[in-house]
Amino acid sequence: MNRYSTKALLLDMDGTLVDSTPGVEKGWTRWSKTHGIDPQSVIDICHGCTSEYVLARVAPHLDVATETAILDGFEIEYAGEAIVRPGVAALLASLPPERWALVTSASREVAVTRFRLGGLPWPAVAVVAEDVSQGKPSPEPYLTAARALGIAPQDCIVFEDAAAGVASALAAGCRVVIVGHHVAMQPGVIGRIDDFSGVLLQQDENGLTLTLG
């Protein structure tokens, strides 16, 4: 078991706290087909990224606000299919509100819906797609979350599942735990988990001690 001292946890949502991949891919596939775009070419780049980021690469001629609203509708329609990963509810229940933040590429409406359907507590600090000018893989989302908590990025540990999110966190100066097996180990990544069932937390006057089982 590996133990790490940290001041806060910064948590991605889709693919990390909840397994929403099937629903996300259904939404993008449905959208792609309406525009005559190869769905696989979109799925290959969509994970961990904002709709704006993806649209700029696959359909820059379309109106971002209009298409994002359509995509959010699809995500909300499929939100009930998402499954909260084992151990997530217990982890969030054990975290003081000033010691964690949600950092997601989803819109606020989609994120709130996922948390509500999953029975998860909404955080005091949540950085969503609308809160940043540049989404992941830019470091801005994680820098914004750390700033909101009043904690230096290097004193935060990030849990992420996607390459864009890992790149964002590392560029912000955070340490990273990868969830799942879609991203390779690299400098700055301190561990890998399949779910949160083996993640333990202890709190003291200096912050948190994180144990990865």
List, as one string, the DSSP characters of 26-64. HHHHHHHHHTT--HHHHHHHHTTS-HHHHHHHH-TTS-H
Residue 206 reports pLDDT greater than 90: no
Q: So what's the pLDDT on residue 13?
A: 98
Q: Give the tens place of pLDDT for each residue, 126-152.
A: 999 999 999 999 999 999 999 999 999
Is 12 catalytic? The answer is: yes
The reply to whether 54 and 102 lie within a common domain is no
155 is catalytic: no
Can the peptide bond before residue 137 be classed as cis, meaning omega within 30 degrees of 0?
Answer: yes
Asked if residue 114 has pLDDT above 90, the reply is: yes
Mark whether 193 and 92 lie in a shared domain. Answer: yes
Predicted confidence band of residue 213 (pLDDT cuts 50, 70, 90): confident
Query: Residue 153 belongs to what domain range?
Result: 2-20+82-212
DSSP 14: B
Query: Considering 14, 19, 72, 161, which one is annotated as catalytic?
Result: 14
Number of domains in the chain: 2
* CATH number of the domain to which 162 belongs: 3.40.50.1000
Q: Write out pLDDT tens, residues 4-45.
A: 999 999 999 999 999 998 988 999 999 999 999 999 999 999
The confidence score (pLDDT) of residue 179 equals 98
Residue 80: pLDDT over 90:
no
For the chain, percent helix, then strand, then coil, each to nearest 5? Answer: 45, 20, 35
**What residues does 156 pair with on adjacent strands?**
8
| pTM (2 d.p.) | 0.91
List, for residues 52-78, the tens digit of each pLDDT value. Answer: 899 999 999 999 999 999 999 999 999
pLDDT of 115 strictly over 90:
yes
